[in-house]
Amino acid sequence: PAGASRSVSDGRLVVVSNRVAAPSASGASGAAGSGAGGLAVALQAALKARGGIWFGWSGKVSQDSNAPVQERTHGSVTYALSDLSRRDLDEYYHGFANRALWPICHYRLDLAKPSAPDSAGYFRVNEFFARRLARMIRPNDVIWVHDYHFIPMAAFLRQLGCANRIGFFLHIPWPSPDVARALPAYDRILRAMSAYDVVGFQTEGDAENFRNCLVQAKAGRAGGDVWREAYGRRFQVDAFPISIDAEAFAEEARVAEKNVLVKRMRASLEGRPLIIGVDRLDYSKGIRQRIEAFASFLEQSPLAAKSRVTMLQVTPKSRSEVPEYAKIQREVAEQVGIVNGKLGDVDWTPLRYINKVMSQSALAGLYRIARVGLVTPLRDGMNLVAKEYVAAQTPDDPGVLVLSQFAGAAQELHSALIVNPYDIEATGAAIARASSMPLAERKERWGAMMDVLRANSIDNWTARFLQALGGDAELADS
Ligand code: F6P
């Protein structure tokens, strides 16, 4: 098999992801087209420690599809960014990645819109990026590819003669074989995943789903351990649950009590309890069901209506050029209007709905002043908002997390109030329970969740994956 069993932990690290947290020309940190969170910080730290390259899309569309790679070096790290043509972006990102892979991996076969040009575009863009990357790689480099945009990256790199250790981490769920089989180019995708040395998932359930896909495709033998042999290669399939730096986030939340926006929010509440939800505007997040559950809570508990509980839903728009996203944006906006019209009063807007992107500091402060955090996706790889909400709480008077059983985070945060987000009334009842939970129970639940977060920080996650990828774990196993 091509996967070498030597240790290469002395090589550079090469990170590949669609969005790159490249510092601006002035040196300020950021991400090409999206906010940089804990993951970006952790990857930057790993890159700085070993030296390396962060390679991906520039976030820009260019007329000239052959515009050169834009390289920027800061200390030991080079950021290498490529523009995409409008057609490539539409087929690879809006099309295959976000109208086929995303809905199917989130169990939404009803929303999948596969198309032959999009499939072709996805593999074409991956090959294009692989060719560009291959020119920059040295024999000892360790390559870490992130997320569903770049599944075939290793297969193309192998075709170009790359024998480096290459790992893949999927940030979103991997479905059971019966659902995964609906993916366009399914066989090619499975085979492409076998070109990696380590294939990492958010939860053991996702990893097991993938192992079962290999078994069902008669491409790998069944077995209890994490090693698989398929398509002529031997590789590791394991769960690496992503996390946050809980201590750093807690400190950010503490300081953020003084954040102007947080102070304004607190003042505007005039002592009313706050419930918070924060999500990209995505159909996988269960925002419509959550609003219904909040309305059900208000209708079920007259006390809540009397105390004029307020729910703040912060929901930056996302992937608006994809029709299914444009639709959910209209639907949520309409539903907010219906609930406020039905339940609000001249001096009370039960649901405050905001499409703005907010700073991490403002969000940390808002989590801290919220009595209840609602994280109720219909399906989610991990969901770091759940972990951030917990870390942001005041130890003496913590709020309560209401968490969907379908978020990867529910595999770790057992002390949250776990709900089935499809069951509107039960979720409404959980909000009621969270709102009136006695202090002792809140402290106990929060303490147990903080222990989990402290035991698996984002730095552990990076270290564990890189250890597996470095070859050390393989040496230990064989
Ligand atoms: O959760 C998956 C993910 O791709 C993240 O990696 C990313 O930050 C987020 O969705 C935002 O999506 P997009 O890059 O499409 O804006």
Q: What is the pLDDT of residue 39?
A: 82
Q: What is the pLDDT of residue 30?
A: 53
Backbone angles phi, psi at 411, to 5 degrees: -70, -20
Q: Which residue, among 290, 456, 446, 282, has the nearest Cα to 368 in the 3D structure?
A: 446
Alpha-carbon distances of 32 from 55, 57, 138, 373, rounded to whole Å: 11, 8, 25, 29
At residue 26 the predicted structure's pLDDT band, cuts being 50, 70 and 90, is: low
Q: Is the pLDDT of residue 32 over 60?
A: no
Structure tokens belonging to residue 295:
């309305």
List pocket residues of ligand 1, CB cut-off 6 Å: 18-19, 34, 147, 171-172, 318-319
Mean pLDDT, residues 147-165 taken together: 97
Q: Ligand 1 centroid vs 55 CA: distance in angstroms? A: 16
Mutate to test the pocket of ligand 1, among 92, 318, 360, 383 (most ligand atoms within 8 A of CB): 318
Torsion from C-alpha of 463, 465, 467, 468, nearest 10 degrees: 170
Ligand 1, atom 3: nearest CA belongs to which residue?
A: 171
Chain segment 411-447, per-residue pLDDT in tens: 999 999 999 999 999 999 999 999 999 999 999 999 9
Q: What is the pLDDT of residue 474?
A: 39
Q: CA triplet 471, 475, 478: central angle to 5 degrees?
A: 135
Quickly list DSSP for 279-330.
Answer: --S-GGG-HHHHHHHHHHHHHH-HHHHHTT-EEEEE-----TTSHHHHHHHH
Q: Is the pLDDT of residue 8 over 70?
A: no
Q: Are 332 and 287 in contact (CB under 8 A)?
A: yes
Q: Ligand 1 centroid vs 21 CA: distance in angstroms? A: 12
CA distance 413 to 243: 11
- The proportion of the chain whose per-residue pLDDT surpasses 70, expressed as a percent, equals 93
Q: Which residue, among 111, 93, 9, 96, has the nearest Cα to 51 in the 3D structure?
A: 9
CA distance 283 to 441: 33
Q: What angle, rounded to 10 degrees, do the helices at 246-255 and 360-369 form?
A: 80
Mutate to test the pocket of ligand 1, among 17, 19, 89, 322 (most ligand atoms within 8 A of CB): 19
Comparison of pLDDT for 473 and 383, the residue scoring more: 383
Coil, strand or helix at 478: coil
Q: Ligand 1 centroid vs 378 CA: distance in angstroms? A: 17
Q: Ligand 1 centroid vs 79 CA: distance in angstroms? A: 19
Nearest atom of ligand 1 to the alpha carbon of 37: 8
Rounded mean pLDDT of the chain? Answer: 92
Q: Is the pLDDT of residue 130 over 90?
A: yes
Coil, strand or helix at 86: helix
Q: Is the pLDDT of residue 476 over 60?
A: no
Nearest atom of ligand 1 to the alpha carbon of 33: 16
Mean pLDDT, residues 89-108 taken together: 98
At residue 28 the predicted structure's pLDDT band, cuts being 50, 70 and 90, is: low
Backbone angles phi, psi at 169, to 5 degrees: -120, 125
Mean pLDDT, residues 263-278 taken together: 96
Coil, strand or helix at 445: helix
Burial class (CB in 10 A: 0-12, 13-18, 19+), 153: buried
The residues that bridge with 394 in the sheet, in sequence order, are none
Chain segment 49-98, per-residue pLDDT in tens: 899 999 999 999 998 878 899 999 999 999 999 999 999 999 999 999 99
Residues forming the active site = 171, 380
Q: What is the pLDDT of residue 3?
A: 39
Q: Is the pLDDT of residue 2 over 70?
A: no
At residue 472 the predicted structure's pLDDT band, cuts being 50, 70 and 90, is: very low
Backbone angles phi, psi at 239, to 5 degrees: -95, 135
